[in-house]
Amino acid sequence: MTTKILNISFVLLVIILNGCTTSSGIHKNKLQKDIILFVIKDVNIIPMTKENKIIENATVVINDSKIVSINERIPDGAKIIDGKGKWLIPGLIDMHVHTPTDNNYKYEKSSPTQGANVFIDTQDVMLLYIANGVTTVFELNARAPHFSQRNEIAKGIVIGPRMALAALIDGGEGNGRIANNANDGRQAVRSAKAEGYRFIKVYSALNIETFKAIVDEAHKQGLKVLGHIPDAFAGHLEEVFIPHFDMVAHTEEYSKQSQNKTTEDAKYFAKLAKDNNTWLTSSLTTMIWIGKQLRSIDYVRNSPTLKYLHPLTRDKWLTSNSYFERTSPEFIAHIDTFIDFQKKMIKEFNDAGVPIVAGTDAGIPGVVGGFALQDELGLMVDAGMTNEEVLISATRLPAEWLGIDDEVGTVEKGKYADLILLDQNPLENIKNTQTINGVFVNGKWIDKNRIKKLLSELERKNSKNQDKFKWKERMNY
């Protein structure tokens, strides 16, 4: 009898010690009791509040998913993290991503009961964000599977960022929901709301009447609107700036509207945006990646982060690259003028006081989730923003725009413990946001050794499966 109990205990112990047994290694085992009480000692907090006064040598207590105190009593039984000489900032927010999902590529010729034929391990996708300290993302072409991903995270099956979801509405023969008149536009907004969306993304092929109806209906329904500047506004850009068109989803939307890409144009656009309170998402890294792969696919092939992608995505980027397939010297020159102009615009919009939020368009070939946001922050500084302004654009401001600023975006008592512990001060050099010692995701601590291990496991898994996935054969899986 005693032996039997011992044996069972031994089995339990082995499970507890090994934790999980899943491929990605991050899933929690039901038998494993997660540590929920943490104290970070002697840390320098960069709170990213409006005053943003650094709190030196502070003690931060995290219980369950929240920051429960700063510089108060240290509770018993907590796991202590030494913060000496380190810097604590809020988790980063990427305001423009496209996360891959399970997909039925056989759709046209499949049975009505056919599910997906290519599956994505959500943890593999989300690990890349977490590894880079990105604890909230804004999915700008959200569909039903993104709700499932968000639920996997909410259930604790996957450790990943908070996900805000925008439903896309386009005109013509375009993407997502299609609306080509005001009534259809309004109905598309109401349907999106009924499906659970809180944000609407407007897209390029909408006509003027439909665009205006969508923005108006969204406001009535309590949804915020962001997105492209529809092509229909070319030549009369002023008309797009109507109340409650809340944000332009990337800087290039303005570049398309400028003939000569002058500083005067940049200033003029900034004034229009400022007067209408239309915010801007940066997305500089996307355009740079487009410029690179127009020149050579080797930029993508040799990218150090390519190994973290699902093999099917990797193969698509290399063998069916939508940019490289259309390359020409004229296209390259065109994109180069965009890149220059976008830096100019970031500076002018920032000087004019237009709120800018960091966003990457991760999912565009070359732009790898999480890592891309780290690149984006550096590019925003290069364009003329201060280190502090860039940090604000990736923490407090996006939280405000999304309406979750009472939950995340700053390091304050009562907020969720979405935090990055850095070895070096990011106010001195923005690249220091890459000196990650560990990340708190909704109160769960993942230190740099664990991040490193998980990334190398993912790399190994992807390379093992590389030959199994060919983009051109995806219908056959």
Question: Contact residues for Zn ion (CB under 5 A)?
Answer: 140, 361
Least Cα distance to 446 among 153, 150, 127 occurs for 127
Distances (CA, A) of 86 to 42, 395, 418, 433: 8, 19, 16, 12
By three-state DSSP, how is residue 376 classified?
A: helix
Residue pair 132/163 in contact by the 8 Å Cβ criterion: no
Distances (CA, A) of 90 to 133, 328, 419, 433: 9, 43, 4, 11
- For residue 417, the minimal CB distance to Zn ion (Å) is 29
Residue pair 131/441 in contact by the 8 Å Cβ criterion: no
Instruction: Report the C-alpha gap between 217 and 211 in whole angstroms.
Output: 10
DSSP state of 447: E
- The nearer residue to Zn ion, 372 or 411, going by C-beta atoms, is 372
| Backbone CA torsion sign across 46, 52, 55, 58 | negative
The closest residue (CB) to Zn ion is: 361
- For residue 227, the minimal CB distance to Zn ion (Å) is 9
Amino acid occupying residue 404: I
- For residue 98, the minimal CB distance to Zn ion (Å) is 6
- The nearer residue to Zn ion, 140 or 430, going by C-beta atoms, is 140
- For residue 376, the minimal CB distance to Zn ion (Å) is 13
- The nearer residue to Zn ion, 199 or 440, going by C-beta atoms, is 199
- The nearer residue to Zn ion, 117 or 204, going by C-beta atoms, is 204
- The nearer residue to Zn ion, 28 or 146, going by C-beta atoms, is 146
Instruction: Return the number of other C-beta atoms located less than 10 Å from residue 17's C-beta.
Output: 8
Residue pair 94/358 in contact by the 8 Å Cβ criterion: yes
- The nearer residue to Zn ion, 97 or 159, going by C-beta atoms, is 97
- The nearer residue to Zn ion, 137 or 446, going by C-beta atoms, is 137
- For residue 290, the minimal CB distance to Zn ion (Å) is 12
**139 strand-pairing partners:** 97, 165
Least Cα distance to 55 among 67, 38, 71 occurs for 71
- For residue 47, the minimal CB distance to Zn ion (Å) is 31
- For residue 139, the minimal CB distance to Zn ion (Å) is 9
